[in-house]
Amino acid sequence: MAWEPIEKGEDNFDVLVIGAGIAGVNFGYRLQERCPNLSYAILEGRHELGGTWSLFKYPGIRSDSDLYTFGFPWRPWKENTSIAQGGLIKNYIKDSARISGVDKHIHFQTKVNAAAWSSDSKTWTLDATYNGKQPKTYKCRWVLICTGYYDYEVPLQAQIPGIEDFKGQVIHPQFWPEDYDYSNKDVVVIGSGATAITVLPVMAEKAKSVAMLQRSPSYIMAVPSEDGIEWFLRTCMWWFPAFQNWALRVKWILAPLLLTTLSARFPAMVKRTLQRITTAQLPKNLPIDPHFTPKYNPWEQRMCMCPDGDFFKALRGGKANVETGVIENITKDTIKLSSGKELHPDCIVTATGLKLKFFGGIQMTIDGKKYDPAQHFVWKGMMLENLPNVSFVMGYVDASWTLGADATAQLQTRIINQMAKEGVVTVIPRQSADDQAHMKEKSILKLNSTYVEKGKHQLPKAGSRGQWAPRSTYLSDIWNAWYGDIKGSAEWVSA
C-alpha cells in the first residue's frame, strides 16, 4: 500500500470494520480477497458475530428476503428453502466467517464510541470500550461502518395510550424474554410489518389466541419455500453445482427487480393482483377490506413475505385473527378501540418498528470539529461529503441487504487498490460548484414507513444528480462498482 506507514502498535490497522454482522463479515472477506497486503480488524460490540441474527430472539425470526441473494456470493446458500429461520442464518454467518478465516480478525465486546480524523497524520483514532468498562484506542487509515441504520439498544417508542397501565406482559420483539411461556394465553400483536407477520403464525401454535392489531394494513405476499424453478435446479442440475448456484442467485436478483419495476409502472394492476391472491387465502369470515387493503401502492413500503403462506394458514386455523382500528386506550386488562370494540389480552407484543440510528451512534470529528452525517450528502451510496476515508453500508429496501453490502465492498476495495497505484492517502467526496448550484435533496430510503418518517432527520441526504444520486438497483450498482467513475465529485489527496 502506498499510504504513509501507520505507527506500529497492536491496535493499529490499515482498515477497521465496525460491526460483525453479515455486512462486516463480507467486508472482511473482500479485503482478504482483493487487498491481501492490508491489515484489518473487525470491532464488534457484542460477544458474538451475527448482528441482527444474534441479537433478536422473538418467535419465528426469519429473513424477509431470499437467502440465495441474502447469503454471500462467495459461499452459496445450500439449504432447500429460500426464506430461512434466524438460527440457520446465524449459523451460516458463523460458519462463513470461520471457513474464510474472517473470524480471526474480530475483536468482540468492543464498542466504538467516537472517531476522530487528523488531517496532519491522515489517520482515524477510534475511542472504544472493551467489555463495558475498559477504554481502548485504535488507529487506522480507513473506517468501514457496517452497523446498519437501526438502534439496537432502544426500540422505536410508539405512542400507545395507556399501555403503561396494562398489568399483563408487554414485550417488544427487539428484547424478547427467551423464557417467556405464552402457552394458552390470549395475545395481541400491535403492528402490521414484517415482525408482526412473522410472530403471529408461530405464537398461534401454542397460544390460546393471537390477534394482530393494526392501524393500517400492509401488503403480505405468500412465497413458497421452494418453487418449481428451484426444485428443478436442485433436482436436475445437481451434477453442475456452479451453474445451479449461479442460476438460483440470478433468479432471485431478477424476480424482485421485475416485481418492483411492475409495481412502479403499473401500481393499480399489481395492487389488484395482490388483493386477488390475498382474498383467495383468507378464511371466509375475514373480509379483505379493511384488513388487507393498504392505502399506499406496492413497494412504497417494504412488502411482507410469509413462507408457504404460514400467516394465512394461521388465520384459517381459527386461533389467529386480524383487527384493524385505532387504539383509544389501554386499561389494566383491556385494549379499547375507537370503534368501541374491546380486546382482552394476557400479553401485548409491540411490533411497532425499529428506531433509526445512523453510524451506530458513533460521534465523528474532523480536526476537532464535530461532523453531523445528517447535514451532508451521500456519495456513490457509500461515503459522505467532506468526510475522509469513511465508508458505510446501506442495503436495499426492495432486495436483499447483502446485495447492497457486497456492491459497496467491491467498490470500496477497488478504490483502495486505485489509491495504492496512485500513491493517494485520502479520498474526500466534495460537491462541485455546479453540484451546489443545482443539487436537490432526496431521501436515501425509498420508503414512507412510519419508522422512516420518524427517523429520517437523522439520516444523510441523497442528491438529485451524478455521484450523489441514491442507489437504484443491484445490477446498476455492481456495474458501477466494477467500471463506474470513482474520481468525480471527490478529492484524491496524494501522500
In tens, the pLDDT along 13-65 reads: 999 999 999 999 999 999 999 999 999 999 999 999 998 898 888 999 988 88
Specify whether 472 is located in the same domain as 369. yes
Query: Is 167 inside any structural domain?
Result: no
DSSP assignments along 333-353, one per residue: S-EEETTS-EE--SEEEE---
* The pLDDT of residue 2 is above 80: no
Q: Mean pLDDT score of the chain, rounded to an integer?
A: 91
Specify whether 469 is located in the same domain as 330. no
Position with higher pLDDT, 262 vs 396: 262
What range defines the domain where residue 220 resides?
172-350
Q: Please tell me the predicted confidence (pLDDT) of residue 45.
A: 94
Query: Is 246 inside any structural domain?
Result: yes
Specify whether 209 is located in the same domain as 262. yes
Specify whether 385 is located in the same domain as 466. yes
Specify whether 126 is located in the same domain as 232. no
Report the percentage of the chain scoring pLDDT > 90.
69
For residue range 304-314, what is the model confidence (pLDDT) as tens digits? 989 999 999 99
For residue range 369-379, what is the model confidence (pLDDT) as tens digits? 999 999 999 99
Q: Please tell me the predicted confidence (pLDDT) of residue 452.
A: 62
Report the percentage of the chain scoring pLDDT > 70.
96
Query: Is 164 inside any structural domain?
Result: no
Domain endpoint, select from 327, 350, 373:
350
Nearest to 152 by CA among 190, 111, 186, 180: 111
Q: What are the residues whose beta carbons fall under 8 Å from the beta carbon of 251, sequence distance 6 or more?
A: 68, 229, 230
**Contact call for residues 404 and 473 (beta carbons, < 8 A):** no
Q: Please tell me the predicted confidence (pLDDT) of residue 7.
A: 67
What is the average per-residue pLDDT within 402-418? 96
Domain endpoint, select from 335, 350, 365:
350
Specify whether 228 is located in the same domain as 299. yes
Query: Is 4 inside any structural domain?
Result: no
For residue range 53-107, what is the model confidence (pLDDT) as tens digits? 988 889 999 888 888 899 999 999 888 788 888 889 999 999 999 999 999 999 9
Position with higher pLDDT, 480 vs 300: 480
Domain endpoint, select from 350, 385, 405:
350
Specify whether 95 is located in the same domain as 214. no
DSSP assignments along 446-492, one per residue: ----HHHHHHGGGS-BB-SSGGGSPP--HHHHHHHHHHS-SSTTEEE
Q: Please tell me the predicted confidence (pLDDT) of residue 454.
A: 65
What is the average per-residue pLDDT within 130-154? 91
Specify whether 114 is located in the same domain as 20. yes
Specify whether 339 is located in the same domain as 438. no
Specify whether 337 is located in the same domain as 278. yes
Q: Please tell me the predicted confidence (pLDDT) of residue 154.
A: 78
Pairing of strands 327-330, 335-337: antiparallel
Position with higher pLDDT, 84 vs 468: 468
Q: Please tell me the predicted confidence (pLDDT) of residue 481.
A: 95
- Measuring CA to CA, how many Å separate 80 from each of 65, 84, 248, 306? 15, 9, 11, 16
Q: Please tell me the predicted confidence (pLDDT) of residue 448.
A: 58
Least confident among 80-94, 146-160, 291-305: 146-160
Specify whether 208 is located in the same domain as 113. no
For residue range 432-442, what is the model confidence (pLDDT) as tens digits? 888 888 899 98
Q: How buried is 266 (Cβ within 10 angstroms: 0-12 exposed, 13-18 middle, 19+ buried)? A: middle
pLDDT band at 1 (very low <50, low <70, confident <90, very high): very low
Specify whether 22 is located in the same domain as 42. yes
Query: Is 384 inside any structural domain?
Result: yes
For residue range 187-222, what is the model confidence (pLDDT) as tens digits? 999 999 899 999 999 999 999 999 999 999 999 999
Q: Please tell me the predicted confidence (pLDDT) of residue 166.
A: 95
Query: Is 7 inside any structural domain?
Result: no
What is the average per-residue pLDDT within 449-461? 70
Query: Is 2 inside any structural domain?
Result: no
Nearest to 327 by CA among 318, 316, 319, 338: 338
* The pLDDT of residue 263 is above 60: yes
* Number of separate domains in the chain: 2
CATH of the domain at 129: 3.50.50.60
Query: Is 95 inside any structural domain?
Result: yes
